[in-house]
Structure 1
Amino acid sequence: MAEIHGRLTGEVGVCLGTLGPGATNLITGVADGNMDRAPILAITGQGALTRQHKESHQVMDVVGLFRPVTKWSCAVNHADNIPEIVHKAIKLAVVEKPGATHIELPEDIAANETDARPMRPGRPRRPVPENKIMDEVWERIRSAKSPLIIAGNGAIRTSVSEQLCQFCHATGIGVLMTFMAKGAVDMDSEHCLFTIGMGQRDYPQSAIDAADLIITVGYDLVEYGPEKWNAEGARDIIHMDFLPAESDCNYQPQIEVVGDLSHGIEMLNARVARDGTPEFDFASQAKLRRKMLEEFAEHDDDDTKGSIRPQKAIADVRAVLGPHDILLSGVGAHKMWVARHYQCHEPGTCLISNGFCSMGMPLPGAISAKLSRPDAKILAVVGDGDVMMNVQEMETASRLSSDITVLVWEDHAYGLIAWKQQQEFGHHTDLSFTNPDWLGLCASMGWQGERCEDAADLQDALNRALTHKGPAMVVIPIDYRENMMLTERFGKIETTF
């Protein structure tokens, strides 16, 4: 919940945990938010300082435990230090790249009185790129024949997206977006080339192969490693981000633009306005967009009975949600279909966990999203394995009367693991499990529940759930035979269309 609040608002999402198991139970969520670049502050309890030096009930090194999954982890050892510690934790959580911080509060310190006052809040102004480097970048772009942009998680900051769209409109350069950069460019824009990030070779690789210059904007290597799209490490790359490029053999930019990303693109826009638009060849990018639009529309009118294709499920979800509404995706086979087929009009309207890739985010995340964006419809797409990771939060949603919808793709197995093992070995281990009686579960938790077995009925079922006031669940039998069919097609994709 704290992660989703941070991702949607840019404000720090704060979560609390007790000492011992309360602290350890936060670890996966904190790690997920940290690697997804969400500003989070986790505050945990701890045993008194007087007993930390010895074996003692529920006492462990929580600060050390949180260090690998946060930007900063610190224990309070004097009540008067709290204003400085809190100020530093929040400051570090929000500065680029945002992430998680942790404060430990021992029980005896918590009981102390203090006259210390909170420090003034504030955000430091980020440095901007130098004119000299932006001149170099602009000259390199002007000399290219087929430049291409890869936008990452950093590109969905509102001001960055606005400047990026202006730049694309002025130059005609197309944009591939990572899973977490969806909506950086409107899906209806001719410059939107949709999503990159599948594990296998997909059609977007064709546009990368045809480009003689790649401009990365807020690109995060934790999402989609450069070895996937730059295996030889030989592509000409301009790196634009808040931080310097990671050292990676497959990602060696010729130019690095480090500083406020929105301001950097604004500086490029000023140069376009001054010098005009160069002549580029975007034939490959136009072909890619046409090909992907054909893919998205292929199963719009499916009327299969007894199971529903992933493509149809995604098409219907897109049809019932408006431009400002929010979809959350869990981790599993469903995430890959959401990532490839669900497209957005605006940044921050599709939230996928793709850094740490933890299961269990969408249900509590949907509750948080509704609190942060009360005017938006909130729909979580989950696998049955994913939602069972945090199924107890159905009670939380019911207690809070959360107006959310959860769409469960049911296959009685860990579908993504099966998919990966099938690709690698030609078979998979036993990954099946038994699900609860979903409708009985909904009734016991105070949710509206509905099963939808036939593809033709899905949109109506989703609309009923979305218009219901309070939490609602729709369960569908998903046809994951499409997984390996997609893999077989990936194997046949050529460099050119």
Structure 2
Amino acid sequence: MPTPPVGAAHRMVETLSQYGVPYVFGVPGATIDAVHGALAVGGPELVMCRHEQNAAVMAAAVGLLTGTPGAVLATSGAGTTNLMTALLTATTEQYPMIAVCGAMTRRGRFERTQRSMDAIAALRLVTTYTCEVHDPDNVPEAIANAVRAAVTPPRGAAAVVIPDDVAGALTAATVVQPHRHPSPGPAPAECIHRAAQIIRAAQQPVLLVGLRGADPEACAAVRELIRVTGLPVVETSQAAGIVPRTLEEQYAGRIGLFRNQPGDVVVTHADVLITVGYDPVEYDPGLWNTDPARAIVHIDALPAEIGSHYQPALELRGDVAATVGELSGELSGLAISNRTRAALAEQRAALACIEEEARAVPATAVGLNPAAVILKIAENVEDDATVVSDTGSHIYMARHLRGHEPRRILVSNGMQAQGVALPRAMTAALLRPGTQVVSVSGDGGFLSSAPEIETATRLGLHATHVIMRDNAYDMVAFQEHRKFGRASGVRSGDYNIALYAGAFGARGIRTETMDAFESELRWSLDPGRLCDPGITIIDVPVDYAQSTELFAQLHDSNLR
């Protein structure tokens, strides 16, 4: 029996639902009103946001936290161009998401008129997959292929451009049913056996776990490998939390920002480095691999990107979880040398010393030590809390916030776009109700996405945002002082957070002392309040002058 015709926009929404997309975030517009109309009838939950960039950040956060893409809906012209930074961030940092972009009618496609543009050419620069639908019967397959592209490693943003007249047309095409990607299985057995031989012969083997090692199944396999081997583990920022509390003694630190930190020292002294799910965008090998001739065992679903500082002796290409699982069997009972144990203990002591020194730095007349603020957050959140960092504050989060569960400490270290913390935290509050959700930014980063407080209040979310205030772009000021001996164009004005937050229905508090900050933080994170609607914004003054020595240890690539 023939399928009765329906609107192409309705078929698009049905396909998104069939592929498990839970939310569509967006800002309304004339060229996408047919899709908004279809979402009013059914399908994923529609979340109306205040700006397309924030909507896209939220959609990407769905992919980051669940592995299933979120979707963003934007109108033609400026609506589409407003997505660009967030799409580039999702593609660079490999979070699966779908962008559905409206366009002028097919008849006016190449006319120079209002909101007309070559959206395909623009979107191809920032996505893993882009297509434009010219026939309403092609809508389901366009969405299906976009979803498949978004979730296929290396994951990222996929975009579908749909002209206004196509979205409003009728189609008899049916929904394209989801097809599971066949697992590639583990790497070849002989390669895994050879890797085990290399590791067993090493004097100081070390695990370096990257973003694909933090996927749920891969993380479980990595944890088992750590347990059965006793190998020291270093993680990237995007793999934060892969070492559980029960294996804490094997944690050697995090790498990605600084020179000569404990994790860097452990990696430098390793004679065999086993990289699991590592991607160069997380931490350029030229910055950490001081000995390109050292043996590297590369474990990933993707082939290694060969360069002068990354030349694996052996590649184990296959499903990460399956490959690591097989390797665990080969390495069971591995004897870690006393030299390795001593080196690990030394760097773990260095990690503890870094934290104690940060806690001991007193407040000044300007404000609190930002590292101490982050450590205070760490003391007051549970292991299942989601803590999100904006750019700038990510320096302190990456250095001081430990985390023991994957995808709970969210640090942007790809594009490092300003203003991502609040919208990502809102997504975490949507997906993880009843748990602690904290985002951290500077006063500038906060204002980049602050209008979404209204969105969070309207949705009835519970989350806490911490503003580390200095009324300046101090990361930039530091660079300018290094280069020119003075700073220029970095000072900004103050604002009243109580009045600002209150205008959007949130609770804003400015604190001046660490005791006052901790009191407000504990109040907002109280387990008895987590299921109640409420956004709390805690404004705390900080003094970055105390961090000049720390900034001097940053790699130049992390200064912006």
**TM-score normalized by the length of structure 1:** 0.94
Aligned residue for 2:195, secondary structure, equals helix
Deviations 1:65-104 (A, max 9, x none): 1112111000001011111111111111112222110000
Q: 2:114 aligns with which of 48, 51, 57?
A: 57
Q: Distance in 1 between matches of 2:484 and 2:346?
A: 34
User: Does the CA-based 8 Å contact 1:73-1:103 persist in structure 2?
Assistant: yes
For 2:369, give the aligned amino acid. Answer: R
Q: 1:206 aligns with which of 258, 265, 282?
A: 265
Q: Distance in 2 between matches of 1:50 and 1:199?
A: 54
Name the counterpart of 2:169.
112
Is 1:75–2:95 an aligned residue pair? no
Aligned residue for 1:439, secondary structure, equals helix
Q: Which moved more, 1:72-81 or 1:241-250?
A: 241-250
Q: Distance in 1 between matches of 2:159 and 2:551?
A: 41
Q: Percent identity?
A: 29
> Across the two proteins, how many residue pairs are aligned to each other?
488
Q: Which residues of 2 match residues 249-260 of structure 1 at below 5 A?
A: 249-260=308-319
Q: 2:376 aligns with which of 293, 305, 316?
A: 316
Name the counterpart of 1:477.
541
User: Does the CA-based 8 Å contact 2:390-2:420 persist in structure 1?
Assistant: yes
Name the counterpart of 2:65.
8
Name the counterpart of 1:194.
253
Name the counterpart of 1:219.
278
Q: CA deviation at 1:428?
A: 3.0
Q: 1:364 aligns with which of 423, 433, 437?
A: 423
Deviations 1:209-251 (A, max 9, x none): 2210111111111121011111452322111111001132111
Deviations 1:113-161 (A, max 9, x none): 0011111113212212110110111111011010111111111111111
Q: Distance in 2 between matches of 1:387 and 1:248?
A: 38
Q: 2:74 aligns with which of 13, 17, 20?
A: 17
Deviations 1:365-397 (A, max 9, x none): 111111111132110011111111112111111
Q: 1:421 to 1:217 in 2, by over 3 A?
A: farther
Q: Distance in 2 between matches of 1:303 and 1:443?
A: 32
Q: Distance in 2 between matches of 1:279 and 1:193?
A: 15
User: Does the CA-based 8 Å contact 1:305-1:454 persist in structure 2?
Assistant: no
Aligned residue for 1:190, secondary structure, equals helix
Q: 1:401 to 1:71 in 2, by over 3 A?
A: same
Name the counterpart of 2:93.
36
Q: Which moved more, 1:424-433 or 1:340-349?
A: 424-433
Q: Distance in 1 between matches of 2:470 and 2:486?
A: 17
Q: 2:180 aligns with which of 107, 117, 123?
A: 123
User: Does the CA-based 8 Å contact 2:110-2:116 persist in structure 1?
Assistant: no
Q: 1:489 to 1:70 in 2, by over 3 A?
A: closer
Name the counterpart of 1:486.
550
Q: Which moved more, 1:145-154 or 1:226-235?
A: 226-235
Q: 1:450 to 1:88 in 2, by over 3 A?
A: same
Is 1:153–2:217 an aligned residue pair? no
User: Does the CA-based 8 Å contact 1:6-1:13 persist in structure 2?
Assistant: yes
Name the counterpart of 2:519.
460
User: Does the CA-based 8 Å contact 1:91-1:123 persist in structure 2?
Assistant: no
Q: 1:426 to 1:287 in 2, by over 3 A?
A: farther
Name the counterpart of 1:185.
243
- Where structure 2 has 5 or more consecutive residues not aligned to the other structure, the ranges are 1-57, 556-560
User: Does the CA-based 8 Å contact 2:132-2:160 persist in structure 1?
Assistant: yes
User: Does the CA-based 8 Å contact 1:303-1:456 persist in structure 2?
Assistant: no
Q: CA deviation at 1:301?
A: 6.1
Q: CA deviation at 1:424?
A: 4.5
Name the counterpart of 1:85.
142
Q: 1:264 aligns with which of 323, 347, 353?
A: 323
Q: CA deviation at 1:294?
A: 2.0
Aligned residue for 2:298, secondary structure, equals strand
RMSD over aligned CA atoms reads 1.8
Deviations 1:180-226 (A, max 9, x none): 11001125611111210114333322212221011111111112101
Q: Distance in 1 between matches of 2:95 and 2:268?
A: 32
For 1:8, give the aligned amino acid. Answer: L
User: Does the CA-based 8 Å contact 1:330-1:353 persist in structure 2?
Assistant: yes
Q: Distance in 2 between matches of 1:212 and 1:302?
A: 37
Deviations 1:439-482 (A, max 9, x none): 11012111111111112332211112234540010000011012
Q: Which residues of 2 match residues 83-482 of structure 1 at below 5 A?
A: 83-128=140-185, 129-186=187-244, 189-273=248-332, 276-280=333-337, 281-282=339-340, 283-300=342-359, 304=363, 306=365, 307-332=367-392, 334-467=393-526, 469=532, 470-482=534-546
Name the counterpart of 2:6.
none
**TM-score normalized by the length of structure 2:** 0.84
Q: Distance in 2 between matches of 1:252 and 1:148?
A: 16
Q: Distance in 2 between matches of 1:248 and 1:123?
A: 33
Aligned residue for 1:189, secondary structure, equals helix
User: Does the CA-based 8 Å contact 2:59-2:72 persist in structure 1?
Assistant: yes
Q: CA deviation at 1:426?
A: 4.3
Q: CA deviation at 1:28?
A: 0.9
